[in-house]
Amino acid sequence: MQSSDNLNTLDSLWDEVKEDVMRRLEAIAETLEGKIAHRISNYQPHPIYDTGEFLNKLQHSVIDIGNDIVVQIWSDTPHAKYVLGGLVPQWVPLKPLIAWVERKRLNWVDKQGKKLTAVQMAKIIKLKIARVGIKERNVFQEILNEEMNWIENQINSLSFGEGRVRV
């Protein structure tokens, strides 16, 4: 009977420890998500911002999967992979580029000073993407790299009674 009580006590203690760890990881994920949002809005030389969908759909989760606790941060948009990973040189559709040029209210002129139409600007952009692609701007990885020491310190600062959790 005593070993059963000990196991119940250990299970209960483990559940408390896991709950505390998940709470701390939730706070870490929330902080990182905020830093990512700030980076997106202030990315140099140009913010990574068009309609705001990528930024507005930033999410995070902390989930317990078996023996692992997993922290995820993502943007739930179909174009997130292109924002983060860029695009190798290839032909892209013209219609979305025209809409993008119009949203951005671009105002380009040719060598004679004549204003270009949205279609003309979109074709120039399309040719450039076909020639050089789109540069990756993986703000998630940038923030993770910059904040790794802070993340490790946050995890290493977890303490439970006399013990400490180490990564």
The residue behind tokens 């000990």 is: 6
Whether residues 50 and 123 fall in one domain: no
Q: Which has more pLDDT, 20 or 58?
A: 58
Whether residues 3 and 15 fall in one domain: yes
Instruction: Please state, in angstroms and rounded to a whole number, the distance separating the CA atoms of residues 81 and 100.
Output: 18
Q: Which has more pLDDT, 45 or 4?
A: 45
Instruction: Give residue 159's pLDDT.
Output: 61
Number of structural domains in the chain: 2
Whether residues 61 and 96 fall in one domain: no
Helix (H, G, I), strand (E, B) or coil at 27: helix
Q: Which has more pLDDT, 1 or 27?
A: 27
What integer best gives the mean pLDDT of the chain?
A: 89
Whether residues 40 and 9 fall in one domain: yes
Whether residues 115 and 158 fall in one domain: no
Mean pLDDT of 50-61: 93
Mean pLDDT of 88-95: 96
Whether residues 59 and 104 fall in one domain: no
Instruction: Give residue 28's pLDDT.
Output: 95
The range of the structural domain enclosing residue 77 comes to 1-85+136-167
Helix (H, G, I), strand (E, B) or coil at 93: coil
Whether residues 80 and 156 fall in one domain: yes
Please return the burial class of 134, using the count of CB atoms within 10 Å of its CB with bins 0-12, 13-18 and 19+. Answer: middle
Whether residues 16 and 57 fall in one domain: yes
Q: Please determine, for residue 110, whether its predicted confidence score (pLDDT) is greater than 80.
A: yes
Q: What is the pTM of this model?
A: 0.79
Instruction: Please state, in angstroms and rounded to a whole number, the distance separating the CA atoms of residues 24 and 135.
Output: 34
